[in-house]
Chain A
Amino acid sequence: MSDEVRTGKNFKPKLELRNLRMEYLVREGSIKAVSGVTLFVDEGKITAIVGESGSGKTSLVETFLKILPRNARIRGGEALLRLSSGEEVDLIKADERTMRRLRGKVIGYIPQGAQNSLNPVLTVEQHFIETLRNHGLWKPESSMSEIHSMLSLVRLDPDTVLKKYPFELSGGMKQRVVIALTMILKPELVILDEPTSALDVFSQRVLLNILNDVSMKYRNTMILITHDIPVVAELADRLAVLYAGTVVEVGNTYEIFKEPLHPYTSMLISAIPSVADIYVKRIPKPVPGEPPSLLNPPPGCKFHPRCPYAVEKCRTSEPPLYEPKKERFVKCWLYSGGEKL
């Protein structure tokens, strides 16, 4: 995207990641989990970050939330968050006090498997009260009705669920309680890590509807991290495809599915076997090879060992992010005629 489009009158991304880099130090060397990620997250939309295991999806989020394990080192870049108050914070430079102020109230994060993080000795009601009190938002006169409407939004019956302990709820119900707990603080940015995995087909569909409802009602910015491309096809407005720690393609979900530009995106979409195959007479085609090791990533474009279009240039130098079409960004030399970000 040309900067004038973005920095113009009224269009500023909620979150702006620029050239973010992070490594894990391990005995064998360093794992380049996030290597130069540039991504703009639009306000009020659902942006999905998709990638296979080890592509650095969770590491990316943990980097700008600064909740990394001790062997992780941030090697540069910025993560600019624009608050509704007009304040702009670079999360990478922010100190721990600022981060504490933002976490929960401004940024809600639901890690993978969060449904197992409910306290087994507290009822659902006590969870809500504790959460609101700890953030100084508990109002005796109005909070209870807010909790009720929030639980209804996630399609739980407040009267029965509030008095229950986590062990009395199913996995899908606990998941929804966690979403309600996050949303009760009205965060401006919500990040959900693999919210649909480990759910059966019907609970997954209900959850997709709930997330859609929540996004429509609160108009908050959502980041959805997942490896499940079909889920993203329905729920996300925008899609960022991650490969080996770097964003290879960003754009509108519909546009990307209609016409994927990066060879990896296109191969990934056609590699997924689906029940729809029988109806549309499609045969899934495997992506050759395996994802690279991030300990010794290949030089140049990280996808070149698996790419059918790879030329000499791809093996030696890493392509920049091009914008061959409006609002479509691709990190691939095939589009070197396009505008550079």
Chain B
Amino acid sequence: MFRKRLIKALQSISVEIPNKSMISLVGESGSGKTTLGKILVGLVMPTTGELSWENTVVVKDGRIVQKDFYLSNRHKFVYVHQDPYTALNPSKNVKNILEPVVRKYKKHLSNADRFKYIRELLEEVGLVPAEYFIDKYPHHLSGGMRQRLSLARALITDPHLIVADEVVSMVDPSIRVSLINLLKKIVENRGTSIMFISHDLGAAVYAAGDNPMYVMLKGLVVEFGPASEVIYRPEHPYTRALISNIPVPLVLSERRVRGLDGVMESARNPNVSSPCPFSEMCPLLDSECSSLTPGSYLRVGPDHYSLCVKAGKLPKWRPSWLPASPG
């Protein structure tokens, strides 16, 4: 549905977002997640490559082509920011935050219908009772509520795609899941596609489920495939190291801190130069790795691809936190 290709800050990345589904993008800070997200909605122009919205090329090699189509459709591709504390105007109440947007994008609504619409919108995102929230200012709301309000504002244009950039990272752990459930409900009820960007692998898997997940490192996608598959059968040393080293909410014994697993703390084998973004830390680095070409992936399973030249031949693996006997 949307496709693009680009290099440098992001290198040789192709992402396709299917209709009516939530996919996720994970990576650590500086991996290029936000840049990719902003490119998808047309906020950042890629140096080279293409961006297509609904099979129509809108950006090509850094320039907007199909300008009319781009201008008349860009409100359908929206971006929700990470920080709900700065994304909302502190001097406006909920009604005044939403109303101008409704006026612009729902021109046919009469005054009375407009307020009815705003109330329904607030209820849809879980800000109930709507009457209670309608005259509140952002400082009255918790982080989770503000994020819901940001989402409500994004929904006014009836978007085809919402890029949700780290929307759960600044809200409390106890309400992260309910926010992701809200996103799932939006996908289901409205048929909107959502790109869920997060550095939290657990949240990203929960959001995507069996839909695609892309794992980014230093501007490259190193592995992608159905999220649950990528986590259960990772075929890139970086993804494996990530899964193994993440603290998990399982306590299997008395205090036991796991050591670093699958990562070299200091670079070794300086004789091998590889374009692989994980080469500096990878324990499996050898001369084979210099043949890697960014953008060319090995198929390791149905719809599951890895950038690693050794994918499919990697040693047997299981996360260091998983007990030896399979449960």
Contact = CB atoms under 8 A, between A and B. Distances in A.
Contact of A275 (B181, B231, B259): B231
Contact of B181 (A230, A278, A286): A286
Contacts of A258: 251
Q: How large is the interface on B (under 10, 10 to 19, 20 to 34, 35 or more residues)?
A: 35 or more
Q: How large is the interface on A (under 10, 10 to 19, 20 to 34, 35 or more residues)?
A: 35 or more
A274 B249 contact: yes
Contacts of A204: 245, 247
B145 interface: yes
B205 A277 contact: yes
A206 B265 contact: yes
A272 B202 contact: yes
Contacts of B256: 234
Contact of B255 (A209, A235, A268): A235
Interface string B214-252: 000000000000001001100000000111011111110
Given A254-B254, A291-B174, A273 B180 contact: yes
A254 B143 CA distance: 31
Contacts of B327: 280
B54 interface: no
A230 B246 contact: yes
A283 to B, nearest CB: 8
Interface string A277-303: 111100011111011000000000000
A202 B175 contact: no
Contacts of B200: 273
Contact of B257 (A212, A254, A267, A290): A212
Contacts of A153: none
Given A278-B232, A279-B322, A271 B255 contact: no
Nearest to A269: B249
B177 A236 contact: no
A233 B319 CA distance: 16
Contact of A272 (B181, B249, B260): B249
Nearest to A287: B174
B172 interface: yes
Contacts of B253: 254
A6 B254 CA distance: 22
Contacts, number: 147
A200 interface: yes
A286 B181 CA distance: 9
Contact of B29 (A155, A200, A269): A200
B312 interface: no
A46 interface: yes
Contacts of A209: 257, 259-260
B245 to A, nearest CB: 5
B276 to A, nearest CB: 16
Nearest to B250: A276
A228 interface: yes
B206 interface: yes
B257 A273 contact: no
A52 B176 CA distance: 12
Nearest to B28: A200
A211 B144 CA distance: 32
A208 interface: yes
11 contacts: A53-B172, A54-B142, A202-B245, A209-B259, A230-B246, A233-B248, A257-B251, A271-B176, A273-B202, A278-B205, A279-B322
Interface of B: 28-29, 142-145, 172-178, 180-181, 200-203, 205-206, 228, 231-232, 241-243, 245-251, 253-260, 263, 265, 281, 319, 321-322, 327
